[in-house]
Structure 1
Amino acid sequence: MKLLFSFAVSNNHIDVVKLLLKENSCDSNTSLNDSKNISINVLLEQNCGTNVFNKDHETPLFKASLNINSEIVKLLLKRNSDPNLCNKKNESPLSVASLYGHYEVVKLLIEHKCNLNCWNEERETPLFLASWKGHTKIVKLLLHNDCDVNMYNKNMETPLFISSTSGWTKIVQLLLEHKCEIEVCDLTKQTPLFNASMFGYDRIVELLLRRGGDPNICDQFRQSPLHVAAYGGYESIVIRLLEYNCNTNIRDIYNHTALDIAENYWLERLIRQANTCLIL
């Protein structure tokens, strides 16, 4: 009977749901996770609990937030569903909505005072997840509501770090406008500027340098942003780093300067010219 009830709810067979509830054949609390817009109203009319969990410790609100169902989210929040209950991976409804770009759901959860700075088992916050996946509108909404812009994950990566690494220029700009820390290093000692230089994101490199990013901070292999930009053949980034007086004589653990690893004559000539200017 329980299986029949769950099937009726998940397939929106309202008459069957009402009949089974009338006969007290099933526990209405067990099927909220499977419910659709219409059947959930029927279940809520029976005063079923909204903060129940499935086997993965997911609440109905969590499932609705994950599945982009803003109408069900709205209904559940009106019935006092707890927006901060997490699943087994310590993911909250806001976490999954931010990760998958469900803007309307994020907006509803924030309006109901959810925890903006909750983190999952990897210590990733909703802002981190939205910054990673490039959901600019959600990032803007979270920042507007004063979430913590500098919280980092287990790898010491911040929202600025991950957005710089992923190439999301607009998000980097938003984070910088909200006074995030620029010189944060991950576990490998890489900075946002280092990664933007390594992956060829010239506009992000320019933004970070204008905000005071240090072009001479090296990673665990003593490589500078100039090293990785030269290796990648990113001419515009090499030029930009040289304009901001980066040190062309830094040597990595293999005793190589950026000049040693420049992959083409044009970059080699640029760096040689910079060295000549320093000598003069």
Structure 2
Amino acid sequence: LMIASSLDCYDIVKYLLTDNNIDINLQDNFGETALFLASALGNAKIVKLLLRNNANPNICNNENVTPLIVSSYNGHNDTVKALLEKGDVNINYQDNLCKTALSFAAHEGQPLIVELLLK
């Protein structure tokens, strides 16, 4: 699931999610989930699919970075929007350096993401 999510293989992710035994929130050695990887790479369609299947948007990696933080940092507008539309994402979560998605978006010059986060 993690590999398919990171490679933007929508149909494979969709198929894998039909397996009731799959752990959608499984973390790798870096603490990253399928949702984190898809968010980091801007795969918004897969992010939406994972969220519809109850992926937890607040699971952070080993550096306390969430999917929202990494997608804000990388400037993935559609991914940020998908995460925010989920409704239960913690926009104030801080990573190990006490930075939030908003602080990363502002620092990286992402005005649309800043606007989305301030709504």
| Range into which the TM-score falls when normalised by the shorter chain | over 0.9
**Distance in structure 1 (CA, Å) of the matches to 2:69 and 2:75:** 10
Aligned residue number for residue 14 of structure 2: 41
**Distance in structure 2 (CA, Å) of the matches to 1:97 and 1:103:** 8
* CA-CA distance at 1:111 after TM superposition: 1.0
Output the amino acid matched with 1:33. Answer: M
Q: Report the TM-score when normalising by structure 2.
A: 0.92
Aligned residue number for residue 168 of structure 1: none
* CA-CA distance at 1:103 after TM superposition: 0.6
Map of 1:222-233 to 2, 5 A cutoff? none
Map of 1:36-185 to 2, 5 A cutoff? 36-47=9-20, 48-113=22-87, 114-144=89-119
**Distance in structure 1 (CA, Å) of the matches to 2:98 and 2:71:** 16
Q: Report the TM-score when normalising by structure 1.
A: 0.40
* SS of corresponding position for 1:45: coil
Map of 1:265-276 to 2, 5 A cutoff? none
* CA-CA distance at 1:71 after TM superposition: 0.9
* CA-CA distance at 1:42 after TM superposition: 1.2
Note the alpha carbon deviations across 1:160-199, whole angstroms, 9 max, x for none.
xxxxxxxxxxxxxxxxxxxxxxxxxxxxxxxxxxxxxxxx
**Distance in structure 2 (CA, Å) of the matches to 1:90 and 1:81:** 17
Output the amino acid matched with 1:77. Answer: L
Higher relative contact order (CA 8 A, sep 6+): 2
**Distance in structure 2 (CA, Å) of the matches to 1:55 and 1:33:** 12
* CA-CA distance at 1:46 after TM superposition: 1.2
* CA-CA distance at 1:104 after TM superposition: 0.7
**Distance in structure 1 (CA, Å) of the matches to 2:76 and 2:42:** 6
**Distance in structure 2 (CA, Å) of the matches to 1:49 and 1:79:** 11
**Distance in structure 2 (CA, Å) of the matches to 1:66 and 1:54:** 15
Aligned residues: 113
RMSD (CA atoms): 0.7
Unpaired runs of at least 5, structure 2:
none
**Distance in structure 2 (CA, Å) of the matches to 1:72 and 1:49:** 16
Unpaired runs of at least 5, structure 1:
1-31, 145-280
* SS of corresponding position for 1:39: helix
Note the alpha carbon deviations across 1:131-169, whole angstroms, 9 max, x for none.
00000000011111xxxxxxxxxxxxxxxxxxxxxxxxx
Output the amino acid matched with 2:112. Answer: K
**Distance in structure 2 (CA, Å) of the matches to 1:57 and 1:134:** 27
* CA-CA distance at 1:124 after TM superposition: 0.3
